[in-house]
Amino acid sequence: MKSQRKGVIIIDKPAGLSSARVVATVKRIFQVAKAGHTGTLDPFATGVMVCPVNSATRLARFLLHGSKTYTGVLKLGMETDTQDSTGIVTARNVVPQLDRNELDAVFGQFRGAIEQAPPAYSALKHQGVPLYKLARQGRPVQKPPRAVSVFALSIQAVALPRVHFEVTCSGGTYVRTLCADIGAAIGCGGHLESLRRTRCGPFSLAQAVTLDQLAGHDRAGTLDRLIIAMADVLPDLPVLRADASLARKIAVGGALDELDAGDGWPSVTPGGHIKVVGPGDELLAVLEAQPGGRYRYCCVLNG
């Protein structure tokens, strides 16, 4: 029988496993019907994976586009077809002897709102086919550049040809493309040699467990200690605490049109979200504010 556990588990993904394999492991160990994640990590990368289970998978979309923080190593002077260390080397160039200030000036060009062309080796699709499959068939497709945000980008250490860095960026940002673009701006090319995600939305490595630790909790019967409750998954959203009457109405998706946003409801601009928490601190729903003090359901979490 499948478990009715619901909430979020934070995994410290090891190198060498796909994100799908990590999710499958979480699903098997927790014995749940549904599990997912809120942002793919390439197999060579490590770090924070946020894995919602059962009805918490309905909250994934609110976390998918949140900011993410990484530490990584840019290796200058070597370009690869995948823009990372797993690819085939396509060019080798001499790395200029840049000092820290010169490197930081180049890095500064990539802070803020930037345009980024998604890599040919990515899970984005073209006519229904993932780009990486087309690239492996020798038919690479280059998607047009799209807007992403680099909120913070700093150099942590320099030992040329390697530059250790930390970046906080919007969801959908490709750090390997960022490295390739920085290498191109320097003039010698480069690729992402290693990557570790240290934060995904509100969750960090401090809350994460390795798959070995997860197996240990399974053997000890303490898996429930690892689950972040549904009401705590979106800590930055304003909260409406529903009484028993409103909780019953929301649980069945009752109409919200006649509810007055002024009676204890958070003040949210249209397009913003609030979470509704019931008398027992359970998450009942996520609502989106509409013009005129109205709300609409984004999701109802009644199971």
So which residues are the catalytic ones? 42
Regarding beta strands 273-277 and 239-241, do their DSSP bridges make them parallel or antiparallel, or are they unpaired?
A: parallel
Q: 89 - beta bridge partners? A: 80
Q: Rounded to whole angstroms, how far apart are CA atoms 159 and 61?
A: 39
C-alpha 274/C-alpha 295 separation (Å) is: 9
Helices (H), the chain: 19-30, 60-64, 100-108, 131-136, 175-186, 211-220, 244-251
* Distance, C-alpha 58 to centroid of its chain: 15
- Computed over its alpha carbons, how large is the radius of gyration of the chain? 22
Q: Is the Cβ–Cβ distance between 48 and 34 less than 8 Å?
A: no
Helix (H) or strand (E) holding 283: strand 283-290
Give dist(CA 52, CA 76) in Å, integer. 37
